[in-house]
Amino acid sequence: MPLQLLQQPSPAAPPPAAEPEAPIGLWDRLPPHRRKALVAFLSGMVQNRLGNSQRRASHEPHGSDADCGVPQIQSRHFEPMAVVYVRQSSLHQVQQNQESTQLQYGLANTAERLGWPRERILVIDDDLGISGAPSEGRSGFQRLLSEVALDHVGLILGVEMSRLARSCKDWYQLLELCALFGTLIGDLDGHYDPMSYNDRLLLGLKGTMSEAELHILQQRMHQGAMQKARRGELVNLVPVGYIRRPSGEVTLDPDEQVQAIVRTIFEQFERQGSVGAVLRYLIANRTQLPVRMHSGPDKGSLQWRRPNKSALRNMLRHPMYAGAYAYGRSRKDKQARPKKRRQRWLPPDQWQVLLRDRYPAYITWEQYERNVAQIKENSAHCEVPWADSAWACALDRAGRLWSVRRSNDDSAKRQKRSAALFLFFGACQLR
């Protein structure tokens, strides 16, 4: 009992406290169909971002701008294509300087290493064998300008700036288009952005130097040719009746028949005084003109061709038949367009070089002067003042044009209309 009195009952343990309820979040408050819509929206955003990354990687094989090693080339330049422009100044360079041509074609591999796929690299080689001084006739350069203007080009590659243009007018036209559409220009020295002031300044200097280099080369070649011409050694082709030996000596053609035909032409012109009369004489006697081939597999062989007025006129005006060496006998009008420039023959006192008694002659110098004067007089037969013989010239020209009998032919109709105009203008001048 005493032990039981000492043991007092322990107090009852307090009941455990109730855990606080978690607050209801926004996700829990959404109804089930809203939750499904939100999950679908987030999944679409993730898939869209992954798709953009894959497409960017396909246009940038190197992964980033710094991988290609060129700071000017950015991701937007890979979307359009890269153009490799190939040009040689002459057909001789195309045939002989093949190493330069292969170097220019090899720039396509450079564009591929920079990041452009092979199918997006365009090689323009339409201007092989064409000078870069004028833009006329350079279909490849015009095509390049068109592609840049259509925003189809991200990079233009060339071995040097002179391959693109040798004229500042064409060069700055290309620079303006490249700066407008964000096209880069590259050569073996580096890559340039025409939108950048420093790069544009450098490109402008290179274009100016290319044009100046062309002038210096032309001047140097002209002076060298003049020095050789003053010695009487600048002979490219010899006329009919002469041959040029491997040593450079010019002699008469060894074929006696060729010499006889040349002498007959000069004798007939001295007798009849007209190129047309000489042509009719040769045709009536079935005489053909001998021609020595100057190139090709038949070089040096003798061929016979039908005579014509142009060939006879050139023979009669050539001073070599009088034993003289001449250089600079004609001049082209530089003010006209290149396609419309005409060759104007100069009198002997305006020739740059004239050395008489240099070659074996067929005629004398006095006979040559008479022949040239006769040809000039025949050519100016209808160029006298209108007040004197306008009506006679008009009648003569109209009669030749009106003699066409095929009235159904379009060309005949045009000639008849021209004849009527000659008659009209001739009558007007006589009033």
* pLDDT mean over 185-194: 89
**Residue 274 annotated as catalytic:** no
Q: What is the pLDDT of residues 217-246, one digit of tens each?
A: 888 888 888 898 898 888 888 899 999 888
What values do phi and psi take at 223, rounded to 5? -65, -40
- Within 97-138, residue ranges assigned H as helices are 98-105, 107-114
59 CA to centre of own chain: 33
Q: Among residues 300, 277, 304, 301, which one has the least CA distance to residue 289?
A: 304
* pLDDT mean over 108-120: 90
Using a pLDDT cut of 70, give the percent of the chain over it: 70
* pLDDT mean over 327-349: 73
Sign, CA dihedral 267-271-274-279, equals negative
Using the predicted structure, report yes or no on whether residue 184 has a pLDDT greater than 50: yes
* pLDDT mean over 83-110: 88
166 CA to centre of own chain: 11
**Superfamily classification of domain 65-217:** Resolvase, N-terminal catalytic domain (3.40.50.1390)
* pLDDT mean over 413-428: 55
Using the predicted structure, report yes or no on whether residue 343 has a pLDDT greater than 80: no
Q: What is the pLDDT of residues 52-87, one digit of tens each?
A: 444 444 444 443 444 556 778 888 888 899 999 998
Query: Which entry of 43, 89, 167, 196 is annotated as an active-site residue?
Result: 89
Using the predicted structure, report yes or no on whether residue 414 has a pLDDT greater than 50: yes
- Cα 241 to Cα 254: distance, rounded to the nearest angstrom: 9
**Domain coordinates in residue numbering, the chain:** 65-217, 242-322+363-379, 386-430
Q: What is the pLDDT of residues 364-395, one digit of tens each?
A: 999 999 999 898 888 776 444 444 445 555 55
CATH assignment of 242-322+363-379?
3.90.1750
Provide the pLDDT for residue 407.
47
Q: Among residues 156, 312, 131, which one has the least CA distance to residue 239?
A: 312
Between 90 and 413, the more confident residue is: 90
